[in-house]
Structure 1
Amino acid sequence: MSATYVIGDIHGGLRALQQVMAQLVLEENDQLIFLGDYVNGWSDSAAVITYLMTLALEHSCIFIKGNHDEWCESWLKGTIPDYKSLKNGHLATIASYHPLSATEKATHITFFSNMKDFYVDDKNRLFIHSGFSVTPGTIPFSSAMYKDRSLWEMALTMDERVISHPELYPKKLLQFHEIYIGHTPTLIYEESMPMKACNVYNVDTGAAYKGKLSAMNIDTKQVWQSDWVQSLYPDEKGRNA
């Protein structure tokens, strides 16, 4: 039986990604779904994209676009970053692209352009970077939707209430059997593992900061993690600055 694995925000941490991938024993028909934010943080952003492009040649992969990926695509296409964005982990990404040729950068632009804003599988499970205010697919996707945290905040608020009052279960969440997101590090809640609230699974375990990178089998809910990413890049700050 094939398996589907969902992977949280990577943020330039290639070493963490390689650790996680080495733990997954992938079969021919297995699928990998990445929740976005591949860049901005640690020094290997460009290398992460190259790695993922190669991985997609060998396995079935779905790449969701995150807000940092939207920024990187825009920058690669010629947009000059402002000062605020340079302080948001982007300097390391820019530096990581210096060794790449124009041709290599063009292939990365194509990769970013082909990312999905969201994905719904055949069991009505939604995969999206951060959340949504309006049902995905009903209106054109906007930049604000790459950063929407209202869905996760709603799930956290209602999680305990719906146990005793199922009639209060938010209809927004019930549109999907399960929802998988990244974007909001679980470290904020002093959790180093993926979190579940209502039917929402948050798989961003803070790889951009002092957390770990996580992968989860969406059927069994088994989790695999890297080492603390800070320990893999001891001379860097990631997005901890």
Structure 2
Amino acid sequence: MAVRVERPNVKKGQRAIVISDIHANLKAFLKLLKKINFSEQDILILLGDMVEKGENSLDLLHYVMELKKTHTVFAVCGNCDAIAMEVLKDTKNEELLKYILLRKQTLIGEMCREAEIELNRGTDMGKVKKVLQELYKEEINFICELPHIIEMGQYVFAHAAVYPNRMEEMKPSQAMKADDFMNQGYHFEKYHVVGHWPTSLYCKEIPECNPKIDKENKIISIDGGNVLKRDGQLNALIIPDLDQEEVNFAYVDQLRKAKVLNTQEAGGKSFCIPWTDSLVELLRTEKDFTYCEHISSGNKMWIPNSYLCEERDGWHTEDISDYQIPLTYGDIISVTEETSRGYLVKKNGIIGWYYGMLEFLPENID
């Protein structure tokens, strides 16, 4: 299958809203659209991975399909969306069945549950596919018809990557899955906007989930780790005019909100441990923390025990940092973890440790 590139014509001066990696989080998606006052006057561009990993893949897909009928909505296919195309294939039945059984939150799994199809290790997935092809023909066709790349004005949009000077020659898999794209050394004349790779993975010292904007090389990465990370967020890149290079952003998360009661200065030197390089050695445990040495860097830090997991090659941690975030009395922050040593919090998309007192706010306060 060849890569599909679309170059739609849109009205000049329309605001464009770009959102990536919703991952079936319909609640956050609706909350974000409300926060940015999304309307029929705007252009909405979805950068793939609309479904999978979250709780509402089918509802999210239906919502986008209906929204596309009444609003100006464009979407590209992400690697997670493309899994739905497996329903149309006669091969890899055992692989698909294993994938669904291992993961609770999948689009195909939701389709099966809604159709009252019970899956187990002995299920004939070939027969299941035929049923789903009939029941969910519209949904599957919607995903199959999604382009991989969209070019509008001074911007190019894809889920994971677009390679210089050979957009039309790319394979769909190259546009849908490319890790660490901002560090691959590419430079563009137009801004290339991608998702797929959580922006926090680009952070070496201070963890941050906000969009990363490389003005020199014209690359913007916007995946805030929504659903995948405890402190993740759903970002919206806001482009007031697609013919201009001005951008800003907004985000939402679903963490508890609290007011800061003690001012705190920024700490000293800090470092981040990403899940892509997460092997640690356990040195000493006290209460709900363990003092660990990061194997590849030699750096040491206290890590909450709930972030640690033993695998075949040793102990690993979720994304974590020892950054002490500066906060001022009255700041409203998101709270990820409450521990014996303090709080892991987020302010304006930046994540760090806070060691003072908090006043938790009602749940409906954002």
TM-score band w.r.t. shorter chain: 0.7 to 0.9
2:46 to 11, 34, 46: 34
Q: CA deviation at 1:148?
A: 1.8
Judged with a 3 Å threshold, the aligned counterparts in structure 2 of structure 1 residues 132 and 67 are, in CA distance, closer, same or farther, namely: same
Cα offsets for 1:176-213 (capped at 9, x unmatched): 32110000011323212111123111110001312011
Q: Indicate the structure whose relative CO is greater, using CA pairs within 8 Å and at least 6 residues apart.
A: 1
Q: Which residue of 2 aligns with 1:105?
A: 136
After superposition, residues 1-241 of structure 1 pair within 5 angstroms as: 1-75=13-87, 80=93, 82=95, 85-86=99-100, 89=103, 91-97=105-111, 98-99=113-114, 105-123=136-154, 125-133=155-163, 135-139=165-169, 141-149=171-179, 151-154=181-184, 172-174=186-188, 176-188=189-201, 189=203, 190-197=207-214, 198-209=217-228, 210=230, 211-219=232-240, 220-228=246-254
Cα offsets for 1:134-161 (capped at 9, x unmatched): 6454315332431123632235xxxxxx
Identity over aligned residues, as a percent?
Answer: 21
2:162–2:192 contact (8 Å) kept in structure 1: no
Query: Take 1:32 and 1:17, find their aligned partners in 2: how far apart are those partners?
Result: 12
Judged with a 3 Å threshold, the aligned counterparts in structure 2 of structure 1 residues 113 and 48 are, in CA distance, closer, same or farther, namely: same
1:132–1:151 contact (8 Å) kept in structure 2: no
Q: CA deviation at 1:73?
A: 2.4
Structure 2 residue runs without a partner (length 5+) = 1-12, 116-130, 241-245, 258-317, 319-366
Q: Which residue of 2 aligns with 1:158?
A: none
Q: CA deviation at 1:173?
A: 2.1
**Which of structures 1 and 2 has the bigger CA Rg?**
2
Query: Take 2:227 and 2:100, find their aligned partners in 1: how far apart are those partners?
Result: 15
TM-score, normalised with respect to structure 2: 0.52
Moved more, 23-32 or 132-141: 132-141
Q: SS in structure 1 opposite 2:236?
A: strand
Query: Take 1:230 and 1:81, find their aligned partners in 2: how far apart are those partners?
Result: 41
Instruction: Give the number of equivalent residue pairs.
Output: 214
2:148–2:172 contact (8 Å) kept in structure 1: no
Query: Take 2:106 and 2:34, find their aligned partners in 1: how far apart are those partners?
Result: 25
Query: Take 1:31 and 1:107, find their aligned partners in 2: how far apart are those partners?
Result: 23
Judged with a 3 Å threshold, the aligned counterparts in structure 2 of structure 1 residues 121 and 6 are, in CA distance, closer, same or farther, namely: same
1:120–1:127 contact (8 Å) kept in structure 2: yes
Q: Which is richer in helix?
A: 1
Q: CA deviation at 1:214?
A: 1.0
Q: Which is richer in strand?
A: 2
